[in-house]
């Protein structure tokens, strides 16, 4: 084989990589201001520094600040007023679920127990109704996919990380089959938040994750079109995880009180 032919063969075997885009200045400005607002360092109701002062403090140009302000406004974190001072909003009354993953950690870098508890409670609210809706639209394809996931879960009982991933795939399929776009978007936000702490939650959720019998029962109810049965079984399974997380958080809070 000639040299050029060898190079072509090697090139064909190489992975197709594309350049990684640099992080823009506006992204950095947005993230810093967002974190200041969420942490309370910039209090709700207070005016934002003028554009010129932000440029000087952050060492960026005006276009970067303006783009970041536009995104903060879209996220419901600030009210931008033309000709007047822009104001920090109370994100609890104006922001959407996209902010959830940014609330997971406190300014000190610790997990926020209340946010984790809220995520699990929301999961417990969505999953049963998604299962109910999925059962009202049973299909052979969905039943086959759920059965395949349950089989994989049975084979992975000794591999908790894989089991956790399969459980996430299972619920993503259920939520998708519910044909409820609001549930789907909420699930996306919950999933991004969950992924940031999934390793920490894995052991606590072990009883839920290894309860493959319940996963199989939900899949069976969905296949039969038993909406009430799918909802009930999903609710019972979610309660197991929520109870385990709640107990773990209470223990953690007690330990922190003793330490202080």
CA distances, 83 to each of 50, 51, 63, 238 (Å): 11, 11, 17, 50
The SS3 assignment for 152 reads helix
**CA–CA distance, 7 with 15 (Å, rounded to integer):** 14
Q: What is the pLDDT of residue 148?
A: 97
Percent of the chain with pLDDT over 90: 58
CATH domain 100-259 topology: 1.20.120
Residue 198's region, left for phi above 0, alpha for psi from -120 to 50, else beta, is alpha
Local confidence band at 84 (pLDDT 50, 70, 90 cut-offs): low
Answer whether residue 155 shows pLDDT above 90: yes
Average pLDDT over residues 231-258: 88
Residue with tokens 């993953």: 101
Residues 6+ apart with CB under 8 A from 173: 142, 145, 146, 149
| Statement: residue 3 has pLDDT above 70 | no
Start-end of H helices in 178-211? 181-195, 198-202, 206-209
Is residue 216 scored above 60 in pLDDT?
A: yes
pTM above 0.85, yes or no: no
Q: Which pLDDT score, from 0 to 100, does residue 231 have?
A: 98
Backbone angles phi, psi at 79, to 5 degrees: -110, 115
pLDDT at 12 exceeding the cut of 50? no
Q: Which residue has the higher pLDDT, 172 or 13?
A: 172
pLDDT band, very low/low/confident/very high, at 5 (cuts 50, 70, 90): low
**Domain boundaries defined on the chain:** 25-95, 100-259
CA atoms within a 13 Å half-sphere pointing along the CA-CB vector of 206: 8
The predicted model gives 152-177 an average pLDDT of 96
Q: Please choose, from the candidates 127, 98, 101, the residue with its C-alpha nearest in 3D space to the C-alpha of residue 116.
A: 101
**Residue 18's pLDDT band (boundaries 50, 70, 90)?**
very low
pLDDT at 13 (0 to 100): 47
pLDDT at 6 > cutoff 80:
no
Instruction: Look at residues 167, 174, 156 and name the one whose alpha carbon lies nearest to residue 221.
Output: 174
Q: Which two tokens stand for residue 67?
A: 């783009």
Map tokens 């009883």 to a residue. Answer: 207
29-60: per-residue pLDDT in tens?
898 899 899 888 899 999 988 888 989 998 99
DSSP per-residue codes, 245-259 = HHHHHHHHHHHHHHH
Under the banding of pLDDT at 50, 70 and 90, the label for residue 21 is very low
192-206 pLDDT tens trace: 999 988 998 899 999
Beta bridge partners of 135: none
pLDDT tens for 130-144 read 999 999 998 999 999
CA distance 147 to 198: 24
Which CATH number is 25-95 given? 1.10.10.10
Residue 2 confidence (pLDDT) above 60: no
């Amino acid at each position: 084989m000639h040299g050029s032919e060898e190079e072509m063969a090697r090139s064909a075997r190489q992975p197709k990589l594309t350049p990684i885009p640099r992080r823009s200045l506006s992204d950095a400005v947005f993230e810093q201001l967002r974190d200041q607002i969420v942490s309370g360092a910039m209090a709700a109701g207070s005016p934002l520094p003028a554009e010129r002062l932000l440029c000087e403090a952050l060492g960026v140009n005006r276009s970067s600040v303006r783009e970041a302000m536009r995104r903060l406004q879209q996220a419901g974190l600030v009210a931008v007023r033309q000709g007047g001072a822009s104001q920090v909003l109370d994100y609890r009354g104006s922001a959407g679920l996209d902010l959830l993953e940014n609330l997971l950690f406190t300014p000190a870098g610790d997990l926020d127990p209340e946010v984790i508890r809220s995520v699990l409670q929301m999961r417990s609210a969505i999953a049963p109704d998604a299962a109910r809706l999925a059962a009202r639209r049973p299909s052979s394809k969905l039943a086959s996919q759920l059965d395949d996931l349950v089989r994989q879960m049975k084979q992975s009982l000794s591999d908790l990380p894989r089991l956790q991933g399969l459980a996430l795939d299972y619920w993503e399929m259920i939520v998708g089959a519910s044909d409820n776009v609001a549930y789907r978007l909420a699930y996306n936000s919950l999933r991004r938040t969950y992924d940031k702490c999934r390793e920490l939650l894995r052991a606590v959720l072990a009883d839920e994750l290894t309860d493959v019998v319940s996963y199989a029962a939900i899949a069976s109810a969905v296949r039969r079109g038993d909406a009430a049965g799918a909802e009930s079984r999903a609710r019972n399974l979610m309660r197991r995880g929520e109870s385990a997380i709640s107990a773990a958080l209470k223990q953690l809070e007690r330990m922190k009180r003793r330490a202080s």
